[in-house]
Copies of this chain bind each other. A is one copy, B any other.
Amino acid sequence: MKKNEAECCDVICIHKDRVQKVLKSMPGELLLSELADFYKVFADVTRIRILCVLLESEMCVCDLAEVLSMTQSAISHQLRVLKQMKLVKNRREGKTVFYSLADGHIQSIISQGMEHITE
């Protein structure tokens, strides 16, 4: 009989009841991958910086590029990601497009991360 993970250590370390209990309590795979995708948005310095700026003030793409010393293109690409994940919204005013946070508790998410790393 071929060896597999399920049998590799069933005497010493596999506690079948514990494994079963955990398997039942696990959220669905779809939800978990959505959660990972959500955190991916915060997992890049540029996007974090953009969010920090918008935390302070609504701002157009051009201003964002200057504040962050990056090209308009790079900023625009990232704003697209942020918008797809519904973290920012925008409004057009003539040629200018202003971006702002789409959600109030983005601040609390960032704050919570800050708390963890500054301990």
Contact = CB atoms under 8 A, between A and B. Distances in A.
Contact of A13 (B21, B27, B29, B62): B62
Interface of A: 5-6, 8-9, 12-15, 18-19, 21-23, 25-27, 29, 31-40, 42-45, 47-49, 52-53, 56-57, 59-60, 62-63, 65-67, 69, 71-72, 94-96, 103, 105, 108-110, 112-118
A32 B52 contact: yes
Given A105-B116, A116-B105, A66 B32 contact: no
Contact of A22 (B29, B67, B105): B67
Contacts of A105: 112, 115-116
A49 B32 contact: yes
